[in-house]
Amino acid sequence: MKAGVIVFPGSNCDIDAYKVLEKLNVEVKYIWHDEKIDDEDLIVLPGGFSYGDYLRCGAIARFAKALENINEHIEKGKLVLGICNGFQILTELKALPGALLRNKNLNFICSDCNLIVENTDTPFTNLFKKGDIVNFPIAHGEGNYYIDDEGLGELIKNNQIVFRYQNNPNGSVADIAGIVNKRGNVLGMMPHPERAQDKLLGGEDGLVFFKSVIAYFKEV
Amino acid sequence: MNRYEKVGLTKEEYKRIVEGLNREPNDLELSMFGVLWSEHCSYKNSRALLKLFNTKGERVLQGPGENAGAVDIGDDLAVVFKIESHNHPSALEPYQGAATGVGGILRDIFTMGARPIANLNSIRFGHLNDERNKRLLKGVVNGIGNYGNSVGIPTVAGETVFDDCYSDNPLVNAMSVGIIRKDKLKRAIAQGVGNSVILVGHTTGRDGIGGASFASCNLTEESEAMRSAVQVGDPFMEKLLLEACLELMDKEYVVAVQDLGAAGLTSSSCEMALRGGCGIKIDVSKVVTREENMLPEEIMISESQERMLFVVKKGYEEEILKVFKKWNLNAAVIGEIIDDKNLTVTAGDKVVGCVPVELLGDGAKATLRSYRRPKYLDELHLDIDSLKRVEDLNDALIKVLKSENIASKEWVYRQYDYMVRTNTIVRPGGDAAVVAVEGTDKALSLTVDCNSRYCYLDPYEGAKIAVCEAARNIAATGATPIAITDCLNFANPEDEEVYYTFRQAILGITEASKVLNTPVVSGNVSFYNESNKTRIYPTPTIGMVGLLEDKNKACTIDFKELGDSVILVGE
Amino acid sequence: MIKAYIDVTLKKSILDPQGTAVKKGLEKLSLYTEDVRIGKHIEVLLKEDKIEAAREKIDEMCRRLLVNFEVETYSVRFEVIE
Amino acid sequence: MIKAYIDVTLKKSILDPQGTAVKKGLEKLSLYTEDVRIGKHIEVLLKEDKIEAAREKIDEMCRRLLVNFEVETYSVRFEVIE
Ligand SMILES: Nc1ncnc2c1ncn2[C@@H]1O[C@H](COP(=O)(O)OP(=O)(O)O)[C@@H](O)[C@H]1O
């Protein structure tokens, strides 16, 4: 399995994502925003403030050269993981439905965060059990997931909700913390599994998440 | 108003300039003297006393005088750190004031070649029953958070204090800590006649013009009208600048790097030349400006943010320009090192100003002011027995826990990304933060502390207590204190009583830092923190760094298990 | 040249916590309002000299970058600048 | 009732990083502009029914809370709502 972490100007969790993949012996490389993606099995859009997050989070990053072929990539069934800013970019790209608004309390929130695993039938969560509680930290100012009722109905019907907040920190519709596309190969989430990679730093639930991806590729 | 008064100089200072130049300075030259001889840049009221600090130690690689201090932590690594104030701008525009404060201190760290790994802050306001104070707090926290979060440096510790004395003068002190291989430490010493001077980063605009001299005046209604003094920060640009600079730092053709802070191009070029004992020539027409028709003097003293000055070996200019282009940043060769010891400013071929570097950079007289023990110190006395007995201890406890200064500061630090880059072992909420040093088993323990009420009651003892409190916080995480940086926030130094407290605080810090073997390696002075109504308490904020050899041994403050013993140690 | 003034606002159906916060902030100053909503104001200067052409260009900018139609709408005014 | 549309913008001489970023973003889409500046758009609904009274109130709101004159300026339009 090969992985690529896209580095936009302003990305700042690129290193953390790289670190966790490297730790799990995945062949991983950085992809600069104006290079093209290759045949990586997993593309990570990391957290941060791409292009300063000016205008709207992820709005400008969506046009980066590295994302030009992202749709073909997705169609081929390769995996795309958007964490935090990456999730925002994926909604701007329309690779995932909905939008991320400012946190309800209007403040940036950095803290530990318990999530309920809703869907274990994805390449990212196959090592969890449905209903598992995991702690992935959050750190965002605009993580308030919005989708209209119709869209929400679709998400539920297709089992696209992957993680929900145990205590909704930001006002997200239906406590949604992470969703996949219909096919299940694109995941966007506000919490940071890559930050939960070491007991010394507060937990390692994130390792299970990334090991799921590795397990998925062992299967196929 | 006289010409020299307009730029904040005294008659005596003007006389010295005329003598030094052997002629009257023109407007450009006068503006440069105005900003560089301001308190903020010249430290004219504090320099003589700062010499008293204990700055030596076996670990010290770089003491005060550079962009930041550096201390050896073994494994061929150095920790680079400094604290700096941004009080006056934050009073006017809390969000931008605090944000640009963080930007400035970060640049101080990466100009030394170090990668910033953590930020800290010490912030002080009037009480929160006042709406304005609330807005200031919100704006400052928002500004610090947004800037640090965007650049991707975790903000791991700090202090938040409320007292009436800060109502008109909130304090915003920002500290940054970086790591570097010790043989790669860069210094801002211009050298090598013929070498090129390159300005990189953001465009130059009229924002912040007069900022430095502004920071040295009392806050009056007038300063509220000095509109352009506020600068706007662009953390995105800073992040790019950081990455681009670090990419170039270990290149052998980079001779020196300096960030543009107060007094912009004037101070950075002059300081670099002064340290190198050479001259420097700047062509303002080469500077990439944001606005049309900027005057040479506006370009020379603009305080536009996110800019740096490089000196590179002749012939290597293209290498630099290429890297900055990759990061989508401006870079332009704007001058060269020359062998006469002047700062020469040209606009194209025309010389528009020429002053001796030494006069400009070192000519502001360091004054040892007279001081007098403040009267209030004799008037303070409290008869403990006169206090009313507390009847209901439960009620008292709740009152204490509810008070602004004791209550949890989670509302503040939760707005800071304190985990980004996954090295934060002990998070805010404890005594000191602990951050792992990558590639080693080591960790750094970091804190900022000052109890200014103690400093008010006894500036000497209070300053000692600040250093000791910091050391206890560090020790409580399991680390050994190794060095400090200080931010001396005081009122008007021309007042003999204020100057007394300033002097006492320095003596107190010196004493404590000797005993604890934590030399002062960097710091900052902020005077004139007063309004016509209030004057702040003497507030010598101490930033301290400790070293933990085994990061797995970091201690946290929470009780771990039922049945564990609780032991009170100390006097 | 033409200057376009674009106001981007959240759709009516979407809560605007920022507006609510400002409304409350105003009330603390005894300034009462029925409602406050907060959006973005974007001023774009264009070389075009015909409003028709400018409108087309601005609409394209809004469609492709400036507005996220999931949650926002916009309105524009134009001014001809000499 | 009266609806006030307030546009709060950065003063001319002050850097607008957001506007600069958006200008560059538009260029990537081959949409060229001379300048882009970004500010806040605030819509306030007031009980008042006279524009004069509304203007006074809005000016006070701007002075006391909505605008920081260190870095910003503002302009207002009014609309009478039935
Ligand atoms: N402005 C701030 N920024 C970051 N952390 C802060 C800030 N203010 C307080 N904290 C954190 O809150 C905790 C409590 O702070 P404080 O009350 O000053 O502790 P103590 O009195 O024990 O030194 C500390 O961990 C400190 O780092």
Residue B270 dihedral angles phi and psi, to the nearest 5°: -65, -45
pLDDT at res. B189: 87
User: Per-residue confidence at B8, pLDDT binned at 50, 70, 90?
Assistant: confident
* Centre of ligand 1 from the C-alpha of residue B543, in Å: 13
User: How many folded domains does chain C comprise?
Assistant: 1
User: Per-residue confidence at D12, pLDDT binned at 50, 70, 90?
Assistant: confident
Residue A99 dihedral angles phi and psi, to the nearest 5°: -155, 160
Residue B2 and residue B8 in contact, taking contact as beta carbons nearer than 8 Å: no
pLDDT at res. B191: 86
Residue B182 and residue B250 in contact, taking contact as beta carbons nearer than 8 Å: no
DSSP helix/strand/coil, B523: strand
User: Per-residue confidence at D78, pLDDT binned at 50, 70, 90?
Assistant: very high
Helix axes of B496-515 and B459-476: crossing angle, nearest 10 degrees? 40
Give the residue numbers spanning the domain of C29.
2-80
CA–CA distance, B87 with B122 (Å, rounded to integer): 11
User: Per-residue confidence at C82, pLDDT binned at 50, 70, 90?
Assistant: confident
pLDDT at res. A189: 98
Give the model confidence (pLDDT) of B337-346 as tens digits.
Answer: 999 999 999 9
Instruction: Count CB neighbours of B11 within 10 A.
Output: 10
pLDDT at res. B228: 54
CA–CA distance, B70 with B68 (Å, rounded to integer): 7
Summarize the confidence of residues D1-30 as an average pLDDT: 92
Q: Give yes or no for residue B429 CB within 6 A of ligand 1.
A: yes
Summarize the confidence of residues A99-114 as an average pLDDT: 96
Say yes or no to pLDDT of B304 above 60: yes
Residue B10: CB partners within 8 Å, gap ≥ 6? B4
Placement of tokens 């300096």 in the chain: B258
DSSP output for D2-56: EEEEEEEEE-TTS--HHHHHHHHHHHHTT---SEEEEEEEEEEEES---HHHHHH
Catalytic residue among A13, A57, A84, A113: A84
* Centre of ligand 1 from the C-alpha of residue D60, in Å: 37
Say yes or no to pLDDT of B152 above 60: yes
Across chain B, mean pLDDT equals: 91
Could you tell me what percent of chain B has a pLDDT over 90? 72
Say yes or no to pLDDT of B222 above 70: no
User: Per-residue confidence at B218, pLDDT binned at 50, 70, 90?
Assistant: low
Q: Give yes or no for residue B111 CB within 6 A of ligand 1.
A: no
Closest chain B residue to D66, measured at CA: B135
Q: Among A180, A213, A218, A219, which residue's Cα sits nearest to residue A3? A: A213
* C43: its two tokens: 């001023």
DSSP A26: -
Is B202 in the active site? no
* A117: its two tokens: 């695993």
Which CA distances in Å does B258 have to B105, B107, B110, B276? Answer: 12, 9, 9, 13
Q: Among A207, A1, A213, A192, which residue's Cα sits nearest to residue A126? A: A213
Q: What is the CATH number of the domain that holds D50?
A: 3.30.1280.10
Which CA distances in Å does B399 have to A171, B125, B391, C28? Answer: 32, 20, 13, 25
Class of domain A2-219: alpha beta
Q: Cβ of D21 and B305 within 8 Å?
A: no
Residue B321: CB partners within 8 Å, gap ≥ 6? B198, B331, B333
Summarize the confidence of residues D53-69 as an average pLDDT: 94
Say yes or no to pLDDT of B505 above 60: yes
Q: Cβ of C47 and D32 within 8 Å?
A: yes
CA–CA distance, C8 with A146 (Å, rounded to integer): 17
Say yes or no to pLDDT of B420 above 90: yes
Q: Among C7, B231, B93, C27, which residue's Cα sits nearest to residue D67? A: B93
* Sign of the Cα pseudo-torsion (A59, A65, A66, A71, in order): positive
Closest chain D residue to A54, measured at CA: D18
Say yes or no to pLDDT of B458 above 70: yes
pLDDT at res. B496: 94
Give the model confidence (pLDDT) of A158-209 as tens digits.
Answer: 999 999 999 999 999 999 999 999 999 999 999 999 999 999 998 999 999 9
Amino acid at A70: I
Give the model confidence (pLDDT) of A3-12 as tens digits.
Answer: 999 999 999 9
Is B86 in the active site? yes
pLDDT at res. B227: 42
Say yes or no to pLDDT of B216 above 60: no
With vertex at residue B450, the alpha carbon angle to CA A108 and CA B405, rounded to the nearest 5 degrees, is: 55
Residue with the smallest CA separation from ligand 1 atom 13 is B429
Helix axes of B131-151 and B94-110: crossing angle, nearest 10 degrees? 30
Say yes or no to pLDDT of B413 above 90: yes
User: Per-residue confidence at B213, pLDDT binned at 50, 70, 90?
Assistant: low
pLDDT at res. A220: 67
| Weakest mean pLDDT among B300-304, B485-489, C14-18 | B300-304
DSSP helix/strand/coil, A185: coil
Say yes or no to pLDDT of D13 above 80: no
| pTM of this structure | 0.93
SS3 content of chain A, % helix, strand, coil (to 5): 30, 25, 45
Q: Cβ of A63 and D28 within 8 Å?
A: yes
Say yes or no to pLDDT of B208 above 80: no
Give the helix/strand (H/E) hosting B56: none
Say yes or no to pLDDT of B258 above 60: yes
The more confidently predicted of residues B39 and B373 is B373
The more confidently predicted of residues D14 and B506 is B506
pLDDT at res. B245: 93
Rounded to a whole number of angstroms, the distance from the CA of D68 to the nearest CA of chain B is 7
Placement of tokens 């966007």 in the chain: A188
